[in-house]
Structure 1
Amino acid sequence: MYIFPIKSCAPIAVNEMNCSNLGAEYGVHLRDRVFAIVRSLPPHECVTAMQYSKMVLITPRIEDCILTIDAPGMNEIQVDISKLYQSTNTLISIIQKDEVLVVDCGDEAAKWLSNYLVNKDEAFRLVFYPSNEPKPFIKPKGYLYRTAERMDTGSLHDETSYMLMNMGSFDDLNKWLEKSVGPLQFRPNIVVSGADAWSEDKWKFIKIGQEVIFKTIQPCTRCTITTIDPSTGERNKKEEPLRTLRKFRLFSNISHKCPVFGIHVGLRRAGTIRIGDNVYVSV
């Protein structure tokens, strides 16, 4: 199980997580994708590892209310999350073409990110999603969200607030690759084991443990971020594993360019899940 505090940056692995409508949580301040990096100039569009692959090497750590950020060749900096909830330093940012109200995290973080990513003092800002409610419903994008509800949009997520993958599918994919890949290359919140490869395509509801229930909203279409090695930040020169996935994971009713791997799910009953919990599915 993984929580990604900063969108497109490194995750924090956890042994248990609380599942709320906003997304995966652990404790008070560790929440999934509540921080993002945006361009300094309006319309403050969000940037991801698609544009700057070294973002995957930005490592967050949260202790009490302090977010610590580190990266290769950089001195770590800290952000007090508790102060962000009361901040009036807000701006509108563009997340996947949608306008979202966020809080600016200050000049120190902005300078740090700008220097790390493009060796400039002013290019990007770190922003924070302060609300306890999911962001406004995302504008329709083709096949997306036909079964989504208002509660499914999460914080600064592209699609739904949770993404789930099946380890059996990884095992099958790796049979066809020169260099095997793991879950972190695909940035899931939850990875389940014990199921047949690609059986998740047919799952309608997923229950984990005794409390938490998810509903499948849509398959997860894949972009070039999957070609970035999360341990080095380098792109695969052969565009793997995306090239291999295109050979057998293109769905005609979804996209002629983006292969499918994993499922976006929406929370239908909140609670806590733990490593080792039983997983039940309906098809």
Structure 2
Amino acid sequence: MGKFSLFTLTVTSVSITAGFILLYYKMYDVKRKKNKWRQVGKLTEIVIYPLKAGTGIFIDEAYCIDRGLVEKCNKKFIFGDRYFIAYDEQTGMRISCKNAPFITKICIVPMNDTSVELSAPAFQKFHLELPDISKNKVNCMIYPDIPSETIDCGDEVAIWLSNVLFKKNKGVRLGFFVRDKIKIREDSAGMLKDYKRLYPNIKKQDLGAYSFFASYLLINQSSLDDLNTQLPCDEEKVTSLNFRSNLTITGLKAYEEDNLKLVKIGEKVILKHIKPCTRCLVTTLNPKTAQFSRSSEPLKTLKRYRLLEDIEKNKAENWSPVFGQYFGLYEGGCIKIGDPIYALDY
């Protein structure tokens, strides 16, 4: 090869490399390219579910970390979304709304830096001193085939939970998540491995404490309003609690949240899209009464018009309709009710 050809090849290689670098910064340096952000609405609800499948708590402000929403006020321990999990003593499998609907009436609130209080209608409240994080580490199961570490909270609260849920003195245990002490769930085995093939944005670092697929679940108020107009006239209107979401936003048209890839809340927090949230029987559970809808609403109505377009994904999701979107953390920080919501335009 002559000198001229070699020089031409070198210049071409440098140009291609520079082109890729430029493309990278154009697409991914979202913090620097602030002029690309477009305000699309505002944040109207922040909800944490301290107990997975338990009662949702509306809060005015929160801190966003990789493991989901946490309350700002806590110092010695972090009290956050899905940080507690009830699980079967024998199998380790999580207790869900499907097999124990009354779990949605169990509320956990912080009392001080070392304890929480559990409550449920018609039951005496239970004061729980948080367990020693150096002991009692066990495995539970969020998915049937992937163990999840947790800190077991002891026998006394296990008896209380078993009585509340099944009128028994044993059978249910309570686990507690501790940031940096609990091993991150793997995303390369079992059900998550299958889902990653269809949704490559699923990453183990974005799975949250004991969430299903990601740390944050966002819904659009306009979509909720539209769904309520399509329900049968004699059906009770549904709320965000039917969908157990963390964040509700306004300003977008109905179902425009499907197109969000990167979302900024306020001036700092940035969330990245993971996958659509497909819906199951839990949406038909009335959050006020803990009873399932006999008419299977709103799930029945959603199935009419909110199925995924991709056939393979529909099969994997058991032909379940979409309502809301899962997000992971890109940039953490504080958020509060009323914060502007921005979308990134590419």
**Fold in common (TM above 0.5):** yes
Partner of 1:80: 129
TM-score (ref. length: structure 1) = 0.95
How do 1:88-107 and structure 2 match up within 5 A? 88-97=135-144, 98-107=146-155
Instruction: Tell me how far apart the structure 2 counterparts of residues 262 and 235 of structure 1 sit (CA, whole Å).
Output: 21
Q: Secondary structure at the match of 1:200?
A: helix
Instruction: Tell me how far apart the structure 2 counterparts of residues 134 and 243 of structure 1 sit (CA, whole Å).
Output: 38
Instruction: Tell me how far apart the structure 1 counterparts of residues 48 and 176 of structure 2 sit (CA, whole Å).
Output: 15
Q: Is 1:131 the equivalent of 2:179?
A: yes
Q: CA deviation at 1:137?
A: 2.9
Q: CA deviation at 1:134?
A: 6.9
Q: Is 1:185 the equivalent of 2:230?
A: no
Deviations for 1:41-71, whole angstroms, at most 9, x for unmatched residues? 1x31111101111111112211223211111
Q: Secondary structure at the match of 2:230?
A: coil
Partner of 2:92: 44
Q: CA deviation at 1:11?
A: 1.4
TM-score (ref. length: structure 2) = 0.78
Consecutive aligned runs of 4 or more in structure 1 exceeding 6 Å deviation: none
Report which stretch shifted further, 252-261 or 150-159. 252-261
Partner of 1:230: 287
Deviations for 1:77-114, whole angstroms, at most 9, x for unmatched residues? 01123x4434x112111111321111111111111111
How do 1:1-283 and structure 2 match up within 5 A? 1-26=46-71, 27-28=73-74, 29-41=78-90, 43-65=91-113, 66-81=115-130, 83-86=131-134, 88-97=135-144, 98-132=146-180, 135-138=184-187, 139-142=192-195, 145-177=199-231, 178-253=235-310, 254-255=313-314, 256-282=318-344
Please tell me the residue identity of whatever aligns with 2:282. Answer: I
Deviations for 1:219-254, whole angstroms, at most 9, x for unmatched residues? 001111110011110110001000000000011322
Report which stretch shifted further, 152-161 or 124-133. 124-133
Q: CA deviation at 1:130?
A: 2.1
CA contact (8 A) 1:89 1:103 kept: yes
Q: Secondary structure at the match of 1:141?
A: helix
Q: 1:134 to 1:200 in 2, by over 3 A?
A: farther
Q: CA deviation at 1:118?
A: 1.0
Q: Any unmatched runs of 5+ in structure 2?
A: 1-45
Q: CA deviation at 1:144?
A: 5.2
Deviations for 1:102-142, whole angstroms, at most 9, x for unmatched residues? 11111111111111111110110011122337722333133
CA contact (8 A) 1:153 1:159 kept: yes
Whichever structure has more helix as a proportion of its residues is 2
Q: Secondary structure at the match of 2:222?
A: helix
Report which stretch shifted further, 63-72 or 190-199. 63-72
Q: Secondary structure at the match of 1:261?
A: strand
CA contact (8 A) 2:202 2:213 kept: no
Report which stretch shifted further, 127-136 or 168-177. 127-136
Instruction: Tell me how far apart the structure 2 counterparts of residues 276 and 110 of structure 1 sit (CA, whole Å).
Output: 39
CA contact (8 A) 1:134 1:152 kept: no
- The percent identity for this pair of structures is 32
Task: Provide the alpha-carbon RMSD of the alignment.
Answer: 1.5
Please tell me the residue identity of whatever aligns with 2:49. Answer: F
CA contact (8 A) 2:272 2:329 kept: yes
Alignment size in residue pairs: 280
Q: Say which one has the larger Rg.
A: 2
Q: Secondary structure at the match of 1:117?
A: helix
CA contact (8 A) 1:168 1:196 kept: yes
